[in-house]
Structure 1
């Protein structure tokens, strides 16, 4: 189950022939992703388990999930943008049904990320799922 925006992103990645092109595209996504206000970069929004500094601030509006995010590493900020494409606008109740590893595998990212980046990406997904579950429980 993926958003239309994520399916479009997956199609774009299909046209990129090699990992370097995909890597550059992820960086470009990070450059285009809106920066997070410094006031939101606090311990409560910091994602543990990432080698880089990563912050995610969830926003629930009308039962739909969204978030702001940022990182001090451009490739990681690009991964945040990818996750935003996967999760933004999804009903909170449906967040847990998204198979993030399978969806991200469609982009060919999982085979080429370092162990630290993979762990960080997993930590970001876990944070998103946790905050969505908490919002749904309220």
Structure 2
């Protein structure tokens, strides 16, 4: 699934309740997060909820490719993690840095309906992913 597929999925949902339910459903579909990865080092700072992100880098023909795993202790935030991973996991570091996931959140209408704390947490998650992409390019 890419950004356009995600936008199309959200466009068929009529109400915010439906959209929030869909975000929660996406979170439920995340792969189980390894208990051993729930460490301070993997915790995203700046999130009101607990959020963990782990990146794995592999060589690709167009540069380093990053795959992410993530989880949260809050259902909606776990769904936001799932949306971010849908948009960015499996992409090259350059693609990640060239993508504005917050623009996609605006397109699907989620960014304007998040509490300020969740918006700040979302930005913290994006910055963590971008940091990992910059690190992969620097190696």
- Bucket of the pairwise TM-score, normalised by the shorter protein: over 0.9
What is the distance in 1 between the residues matched to 2:109 and 2:39?
Answer: 32
In the TM superposition, structure 1's runs of 4+ consecutive aligned residues that sit over 4 Å from their partners are none
Counterpart of 1:58 in 2: which secondary structure?
strand
- Aligned pair count? 135
Query: Shift in Å at residue 6 of structure 1?
Result: 2.3
RMSD between aligned residues = 1.0
Unaligned runs of 5+ in 1: none
Query: Shift in Å at residue 60 of structure 1?
Result: 1.2
Alignment of 1:17-36 (within 5 A): 17-36=14-33
Query: Shift in Å at residue 136 of structure 1?
Result: 0.8
Counterpart of 1:49 in 2: which secondary structure?
coil
Deviations 1:7-30 (A, max 9, x none): 111100011111111000000000
Matched, 1:9 2:6: yes
Query: Shift in Å at residue 5 of structure 1?
Result: 2.1
Could you say which residue in structure 1 is the equivalent of 2:68?
Answer: 67
Deviations 1:115-134 (A, max 9, x none): 00000000000000001100
What is the distance in 2 between the residues matched to 1:89 and 1:106?
Answer: 22
Give the TM-score taking structure 2 as reference length. Answer: 0.93
Give the TM-score taking structure 1 as reference length. Answer: 0.94
